[in-house]
């Protein structure tokens, strides 16, 4: 798996941390490319994942993108994609096929989300359909299972 920071070059300047229009949120991302051999038919599928980190501090965003890079490269976390017939969050757009110009050709009738987790979870859930419950209460974020990334410890994602 190839794992790197997502970078964008604008006017000759390379950026890997982006500031929101209102200056309150900083975003950075980990980009992973994986080649997966299907032993049944012999095809090699190339899968790409982007996992975003967002905070209110540029330094904190940079730190956590770095920690995720290390954790993925060490094999402690692995990206995976899950599907749902319902949106994952308010305003979620369904997956669609696009042409080379970026124009939508057709809706795929599903939603998808990239996640990070321990390798066994990623193997079990990758490309599977899950049920999603849209909980819009303020404490809904507390109910989600967190991924713990520790800067000085060997155990990550436990």
Q: pLDDT tens for the chain, 158 residues: list them.
A: 999 999 988 888 888 999 888 889 999 999 999 998 888 999 999 999 999 999 999 999 999 999 999 999 999 999 999 999 999 999 999 999 999 888 999 999 999 999 999 999 999 999 999 998 766 554 544 444 544 444 443 333 33
What is the number of other CB atoms lying within 10 angstroms of the CB of residue 125?
16
63 and 103 both lie in a single domain: no
Range of 12's domain?
1-76
- Find, among 62, 67, 5, the residue nearest to 30 by Cα: 5
81 and 71 both lie in a single domain: no
Query: For residues 1 and 72, is the Cβ–Cβ distance under 8 A?
Result: yes
Q: What is the pTM of this model?
A: 0.73
66 and 100 both lie in a single domain: no
62 and 85 both lie in a single domain: no
57 and 110 both lie in a single domain: no
Angle (CA) 128-131-136 rounded to 5° is 135
């Amino acid at each position: 798996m190839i794992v790197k920071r997502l970078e964008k070059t604008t006017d000759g300047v390379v950026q890997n941390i982006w500031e929101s229009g209102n200056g309150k949120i900083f975003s950075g991302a980990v980009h992973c490319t994986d080649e997966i051999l299907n032993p049944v038919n012999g095809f090699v599928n190339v899968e790409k994942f982007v996992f975003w980190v967002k905070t209110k501090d540029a330094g904190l965003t940079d730190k956590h993108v770095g920690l995720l890079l290390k954790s993925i490269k060490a094999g402690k976390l692995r990206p995976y994609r899950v599907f749902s017939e319902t949106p994952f969050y308010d305003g979620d757009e369904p997956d669609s096929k696009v042409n080379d110009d970026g124009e939508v050709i057709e809706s795929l009738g599903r939603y998808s989300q990239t996640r990070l987790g321990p390798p066994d979870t990623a193997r079990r859930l990758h490309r599977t359909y899950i049920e999603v419950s849209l909980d819009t209460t303020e404490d809904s974020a507390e109910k989600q299972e967190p991924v713990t990334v520790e800067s000085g410890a060997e155990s990550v994602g436990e």
